Amino acid sequence: MATNSTRRRNALWRIGSLLPASLLLVALSIYPVFNLVGLSLSDVEWIDGRAHSEFIGFANFDQLFRHETVYWAGVRNTIIFAICAVTAQMIFGFSMALAARRASGVTRAVLTAVFLLPIVMPPIVIGAMWRLLLGRDFGAVNTLLGYVGIGPIDFLGNPDIALASVILVDIWHWTPFVFLLMLTGLESLDQEVFEAAKFDVRSPWQELRYVTIPLMVPTILITLGLRLVLSFKVFDEVYLLTGGGPGTSTEVINFSIYRTFFAQDRLGVGSAMSLLTLVAVAVLIVVVNLWIRKRRSKSQEATS
């Protein structure tokens, strides 16, 4: 059995094994939040490559709430972006999963491989690719539309449709992710329920409405919540597709932060933006989490 020295070593091991992960999280994810608080209350200037800050109270927040109209346009666009893109992804992803559910093994493997592509390729490449595809004068999409007598459409240069174009690219990017989650969910459902319900439902629609969807509620909720929160991360594609323009038509929150912090060197206001965004998204995460839990326990009560 364990000797004294083993016991001491084991105690050290328990602490030591958690230490690297905890230290990294504290130093680079918790401390930076406090650092942001400090910076957002200061006037920050670069002197010899080091940041020098001077306390100025809430002036940066005052500036942010009253004068940073571009940021608020970004907030509006990001919310529109998140709602539209996620809704479309859920509808497309779920219907395709229903379609592919009964496919044979080989078909499934090929489809999964293809659907994984957008998920694992670098987002910046997706941006580059669609920028080439959606180009006004020589993009493939306009060439195709030209065959049927439409266009050319300036997808990325027209302020009225630029945001819609960005949303379209995001739908292309993330629908496969929803598809794969839904497919896994559908496959884990108890087949006996469908067998039992066979005699009660008259059409595939009834089966979908009264059997499949109620059983899928937990998966649907988790996917929905996850996509909704993660779509606030959008940055890479927008950077390459439109750079926030034309005007502020495709400005998103992350792009405002990037521009204020790095292109304009206004660290104080940039920190205030970062902090506000961080807190807002954190609240959203908690709310979505609680909501999913509540709905989930409700649906479990209903089914059990």
Residues 136-195 that bind another protein (CB under 8 A): 137-138, 140, 143, 172, 175-177, 180-181, 184
Q: How far, in Å, CA of 17 to CA of 15, rounded?
A: 6
Q: At what angle do helices 31-40 and 267-303 cross, to 10 degrees?
A: 130
Q: Which region, judged by CB under 8 A, interacts with another protein, from 61-69, 95-103, 189-197, 296-304?
A: 95-103
Least distance in angstroms from the C-beta of 84 to another protein: 18
Binders in 69-88 for another protein, by CB under 8 A: none
Phi-psi region of 150 (alpha: psi -120 to 50; beta: other; left: phi over 0): beta
Q: Which region, judged by CB under 8 A, interacts with another protein, from 54-62, 109-117, 158-166, 291-299?
A: 109-117
Q: By C-beta, is 76 or 101 nearer to another protein?
A: 101
Site string for another protein, 215-234 (x = CB under 8 A): -------xx--x--xx-xx-
Least distance in angstroms from the C-beta of 171 to another protein: 10
Give the number of residues in contact with another protein, rule: CB under 8 A. 100
CB 275 within 8 A of CB 37: yes
Least distance in angstroms from the C-beta of 291 to another protein: 15
Site string for another protein, 31-50 (x = CB under 8 A): xxx-xx--x----x----xx
